Structure 1
Amino acid sequence: MASPTRTIEFDAKGSEWPIQNVTVYNDQAEIVRTLEFKPEEPGPLELRLKGLPRSFQSESVRAEVTSANATLVEVSYDSVWKEGVEDDETRERREKVEELTQTKLGLQKEIERLNFKNDFLQKYSKAVLPQNESALIDGMPACVSMVDNLDSIDNFMAFCTDKQEVFDNRQAEIIAEQKELQQEITFLTKNDKRSHGVQELNEVIILLDIPEETLENEGLVSLNLIYLVWNAKWTASYDIHVDKQQSKVILTYYGEVSNNTGENWNEISMSLSTARPSAGGNLPTLPISNVRFKEHQNQMQEQMLLQQQGRNRQMSMAMRSDMMAQQMSNFAFFDVPQVQQRDEGRRRLQSPQTSSSGGSNAVFNIQRQVSIESDGLEHKQTIAIIDMEALLTHAASPKVSAEKVYLKCSARNVSEYPILPGLMKIFMNGYFLAESYTELVRANEEFVVFLGVDESVKVELKPVQKKNEKSTGGVMKGKPKKTRRVTYQRVIRNTSADVVRFVLYEQLPVSQDGKIKVDLIKPDLKKKLKDISYKLNSFNHVEARRTIQPNSEWRFMFEYLLEWPADDGDVTVYETKIAGEYTD
């Protein structure tokens, strides 16, 4: 004869079956509850965990027996809608709403009393003060005896004015308080778990088979319950500390964790994952392609639709091009120099440690116990501290930045994990500089942090010289030609006590016609110098690089010559914005 099934019930808010591990994703979290118990009888045993939150994803539930003295038979779940059922959290919300509502009603009654007092004061003033000259005797009100407690009419009027001001100020305060109370009531009502007095109750049922040997050996049964919940997420944020003297960067990697699941996480082990479970991992199904003759009545309609789609694509491409050009216009003249990677032994990844979850995703394990309430607020957790070498470069493009010189820091992500998009706070030599935002930086990729304008390095702009000439010969033999010689002079002064690595960008026009010839006169790109290097990058910008010693200057000459047939009129130099990443 089969043994009867015994049942043990647990409350999800209780301590008998606690949450031990939480893995947070970008829009949900995986919960692991661990249960250890000593069975009293052999045979089938049903475990019921009641009171799971509404964020519970029933299709995700699974269980695993981690001890060898019990067999998992079945895992199921049940959702029950009960009327009038109210948990502690819902009751607290309801009581809070009732309390706020009573406070709001009390304020409304106070406004009514203030209005009554104000009306009474105005009526009393009209009764006391004369409304016409006939009520005056020797310039004084005939009923002045009614205000004999006041020294004069002026005092009485001042008294009325002060009282009305008090009434008005208090009424304004009450209206502001009522507005705040209503906002709080709306928030609590919106987030109330009840729906017209009906509440969803989730529970998980696990059926085990307990052999007699377990009781004979007095063994403990260990069981893990695993499920997903919505309303949990984490985002990355960073502190960047730049040490200018040591030429290094210390990046502190944070995870901003938000828990609004309805379950408090008390003293749990936490992991933060870059995986996206909701995105799915299956290859989309490729549809079958068919062909047929077009029906005559649909030909015109389909042709018009295709034409409209073509126009939409052209407009979309034009808009995207304009947006990219606008976004890149501020970065068009800054390069990303190569940074030498540090030796593996010099890399520092501090606790909490990280571990890979396989594939292209990463899991960061927080190396301490964490407690996060279900309050929807962001709780900052330290993920890692990454020590990197930095390449500090001063850069200027006088054509667009005038005399300003910008300091930028280039570094390489020497960790094996990605730096995710997120807010970045930038510090240099212990001082806060600014907030920025970083895009995705994969392992071993370089990234650039702009540190703003450095006032200790300046560029002095000498007047531009343009000289037009007309001569014979040249472009077309035997025909007159025109030339224009353009000369710039830049004086870069380093007033700091440090050696600076400097790069200067100048525009060399690109000929858009075969008849127009552009010759670079200065600098000579082929000339090899000891401490100066020149090159023409893919945007036809001349890059001049050199190291400038403390309290010294560098005079840079830039000159080019335009030549074209005189019969073709004049030429004009115009600019085209760069749409795309500046990679030179």
Structure 2
Amino acid sequence: MTSADPPAFEPTSIELQSVADSKITSVSVYPTRAEITRVYKFAVQTGQNQVYISGLPNVLEPESLRVEGRGAATIHDVTLSMENKHVPKSSPKLEELLSTREDKADALARCEQALSSLRQYLGSLTVQNLAVAQLESVLEQYEATGARLDVRKKGLARELQRIDADIAAERALVAIPPEHNKLRNKAAIGVFAQTPGNIEIALIYAVPHASWTAFYDIRVDMDTKESPVKLIYKAAIKQNTGESWDNVPLQLETSTPTFGLGVPKLSPWNLDIYRPAVYTGRPVHYAVPVIIPAPQSWRSHSPSRRSNRHYRSRSRSPEVVVMKHEEAAVMSTGNVNATFRVPGLVTIPCDGAAHNFTIVELRPQAVMSWVAVPKREAKTHLTAHITNASEYTLLSGTANVYVDGSFIARSTVPSVSPQESFDCPLGLDPSIRVTYPPVVKQLSQSGFYKKSATHGFTQRITVHNTKSVPVDGLRIVDQIPASRNAQVKVKLIQPALPLGEGEGVTGKGAEAESNAGAETKGKKSASVNVSKGVVAQWDGGDETDRRVSWMCAVPAQGKINLTLEWTVTVSPADAQIVGL
């Protein structure tokens, strides 16, 4: 055919099998789905070519399917349909094997029946119908016949076992494997070529049943002052899409589609005067507030198939990105989305199981702090205030916490954008020991006509740092009571924080004290230096929750002593104090 000849009227049919005749060049996994790019290379003839690609996943979302190509050809139309594959019930070889098995089974049954009859015959012989002289000859014949039947029985049993194995193998060949039942979508693509030659087309499609979640290992080295925290960012990837991802470049997307969500609108809120009903024997009508529903156009819309199509239409281009196998790459777009390129080529089978990969190891900025509330428990809680100084967006996920190589606790990491911070509880630190002995009490009275009683309390706290490094940022929290009656006055003696006598009264009698304590209430946030490296201050709360905290720096192998002293004065002296 010369170049002047028109192309053939009948289109050229090209049959391709998706898995065997293509290669996955890109997999982008989102939190709830995945986007696959498959590349097919084949030869076309001049004119119309009809390309059929079978074996695509059943769960493929039709609206997401896109076709792009390279070469001297034009893509005309693309259709997607579900194949109804016929499962063969048999084959000539299988029929022959089944017939042979039936013959062998009948022969085995006859052999077993002959052995049974032989045994019955021998058991029926008596002295009336068998002479003693003939007994030896009968026994010899019985032994020879029984031995011959036993050999035949064993041979037939072995042949049946071999035939059963051949039947099972043949049935496996003629039946469609279970995984192929998940690959029954078929794409038909019209390609018009100006000249014969090789072309390349890429199928890009989205599939559900694929996801990834973030999880972390947080490792803390307490003997290191600089960068004591190492955060290992990991991904658990699952997929049950019907096709296996073998040696594919993998990208992890942090975005989740939320298209179709509108800003909620407020409906009118009307008030009216309640008018009680008066019984008149006629139907009663009540005056009630009427709420006019918002117009339909105002109401927010939940995600629909249309919104999903909008998401799919904005999928990324199928351009193949050459990956660097030696290191992970990140493309961060601030607080909205980030793309992680997993280093190397990975394999994720279609099994629905979690396959774990390390994204990156980070050395974030971390400030360690310790908190103890010895009145409740003599344990010290360790917390790290971590700043994400990297370009990676951290998704929320679980974290295994290791301190000095030992597993301590399981915590959670919230969603953290670059340069954001979060607090990560690291469990208990047994190397900081807090001693909280019983409080020391004393009682005294004063006054001549109107006696008053003063109760004195002294609480001592000892902190021992058994580490080989100093601890800076230890907070010890305790409290003194708050008065709810003007007859009861609470005064803090030590540490000498600014709080007037009688201040903190709430409930009855509080109004009488409010003016007297107004001047010192503004000083409640002040702090005092108790000793070297120890600063005392009020620990937030209001007047009903009078907590005192000490911010401590404890040297290596060192101890510090803290004292909390206060008095409670009641007048008259014989009044009983509740809660003391």
Q: What TM-score results when the alignment is normalised by the length of structure 1? A: 0.61
Deviation at 1:76, TM superposition (A): 2.3
> Is 1:233–1:259's contact at 8 Å kept on the other side of the alignment?
yes
The answer to whether residue 504 in structure 2 is matched with residue 504 in structure 1 is no
Task: Quickly say closer, same or farther: Cα 1:468–1:265, change in 2 above 3 A.
Answer: same
CA distance in 2, matches of 1:377, 1:298: 65
Deviation at 1:509, TM superposition (A): 3.5
CA distance in 2, matches of 1:299, 1:273: 59
Which residue matches 1:55?
A: 59
Deviation at 1:259, TM superposition (A): 1.6
CA distance in 1, matches of 2:266, 2:52: 45
> Is 1:34–1:222's contact at 8 Å kept on the other side of the alignment?
yes
Deviation at 1:548, TM superposition (A): 1.3
* Matched ranges for 1:385-464 at <5 A: 385-402=361-378, 404-464=379-439
> Is 1:392–1:409's contact at 8 Å kept on the other side of the alignment?
yes
Deviation at 1:287, TM superposition (A): 8.7
Deviation at 1:461, TM superposition (A): 1.7
Deviation at 1:545, TM superposition (A): 1.3
The answer to whether residue 45 in structure 2 is matched with residue 40 in structure 1 is yes
- Which one of the candidate residues 193, 202, 206 is aligned to 1:228? 206
The aligned amino acid for 1:531 is: G
- Which one of the candidate residues 12, 30, 41 is aligned to 2:18? 12
Deviation at 1:359, TM superposition (A): 6.2
> Is 1:240–1:252's contact at 8 Å kept on the other side of the alignment?
yes
Aligned partner of residue 390 in structure 1, secondary structure: strand
> Is 1:244–1:392's contact at 8 Å kept on the other side of the alignment?
no
> Is 2:335–2:417's contact at 8 Å kept on the other side of the alignment?
no
> Is 2:334–2:418's contact at 8 Å kept on the other side of the alignment?
no
Task: Quickly say closer, same or farther: Cα 1:482–1:242, change in 2 above 3 A.
Answer: same
Task: Quickly say closer, same or farther: Cα 1:266–1:358, change in 2 above 3 A.
Answer: farther
- Which one of the candidate residues 222, 225, 236 is aligned to 1:244? 222
Task: Quickly say closer, same or farther: Cα 1:537–1:44, change in 2 above 3 A.
Answer: farther
Task: Quickly say closer, same or farther: Cα 1:56–1:510, change in 2 above 3 A.
Answer: farther
> Is 1:353–1:384's contact at 8 Å kept on the other side of the alignment?
no
Which residue matches 1:519?
A: 491
> Is 1:81–1:199's contact at 8 Å kept on the other side of the alignment?
no
CA distance in 1, matches of 2:535, 2:456: 24
Which residue matches 2:167?
A: none
- Which one of the candidate residues 209, 227, 239 is aligned to 1:259? 239
The aligned amino acid for 1:522 is: Q
Deviation at 1:263, TM superposition (A): 0.3
Cα deviations by residue, 1:293-344 (Å, 9 ceiling, x for unpaired)? 99x98989x99xxxxxxxxxxxxxxxxxxxxxxxxxxxxxxxxxxxxxxxxx
CA distance in 2, matches of 1:552, 1:290: 65
Indicate the structure (1 or 2) with the bigger Cα radius of gyration.
Answer: 2
> Is 2:414–2:422's contact at 8 Å kept on the other side of the alignment?
no
Cα deviations by residue, 1:404-430 (Å, 9 ceiling, x for unpaired)? 233333322222333223232222333
Which residue matches 1:92?
A: none
Task: Quickly say closer, same or farther: Cα 1:203–1:516, change in 2 above 3 A.
Answer: farther
Q: Percent of aligned positions with the same letter in both sequences?
A: 27
CA distance in 1, matches of 2:479, 2:41: 73
> Is 2:528–2:537's contact at 8 Å kept on the other side of the alignment?
no
CA distance in 1, matches of 2:18, 2:256: 27
Deviation at 1:432, TM superposition (A): 3.4
Aligned partner of residue 18 in structure 1, secondary structure: strand
Deviation at 1:508, TM superposition (A): 3.5
Deviation at 1:555, TM superposition (A): 0.8
Task: Quickly say closer, same or farther: Cα 1:298–1:503, change in 2 above 3 A.
Answer: farther
> Is 1:275–1:362's contact at 8 Å kept on the other side of the alignment?
yes
When structure 1 is superposed on structure 2, of 369-378 and 485-494 the one drifting more is 485-494
Cα deviations by residue, 1:76-109 (Å, 9 ceiling, x for unpaired)? 21124455479xxxxxxxxxxxxxxxxxxxxxxx
Q: What TM-score results when the alignment is normalised by the length of structure 2? A: 0.61
Deviation at 1:437, TM superposition (A): 3.3
Instruction: Calculate the aligned-residue CA RMSD, in Å.
Output: 3.8
Aligned partner of residue 376 in structure 2, secondary structure: helix
The aligned amino acid for 1:382 is: T
- Which one of the candidate residues 175, 178, 187 is aligned to 1:204? 187
Which residue matches 1:535?
A: 537
The answer to whether residue 355 in structure 2 is matched with residue 379 in structure 1 is yes
> Is 1:81–1:200's contact at 8 Å kept on the other side of the alignment?
no
Cα deviations by residue, 1:365-405 (Å, 9 ceiling, x for unpaired)? 11211111111111111111111233333331101113x23
Deviation at 1:200, TM superposition (A): 8.1
Task: Quickly say closer, same or farther: Cα 1:507–1:50, change in 2 above 3 A.
Answer: same
Task: Quickly say closer, same or farther: Cα 1:199–1:84, change in 2 above 3 A.
Answer: farther
Larger RCO: 1 or 2 (CA < 8 Å, sep 6+): 1
Task: Quickly say closer, same or farther: Cα 1:557–1:7, change in 2 above 3 A.
Answer: same
Q: Which has the higher helix share?
A: 1
* Matched ranges for 1:74-153 at <5 A: 74-82=77-85, 84=87
Deviation at 1:489, TM superposition (A): 0.4
CA distance in 1, matches of 2:490, 2:186: 79
Task: Quickly say closer, same or farther: Cα 1:52–1:457, change in 2 above 3 A.
Answer: same
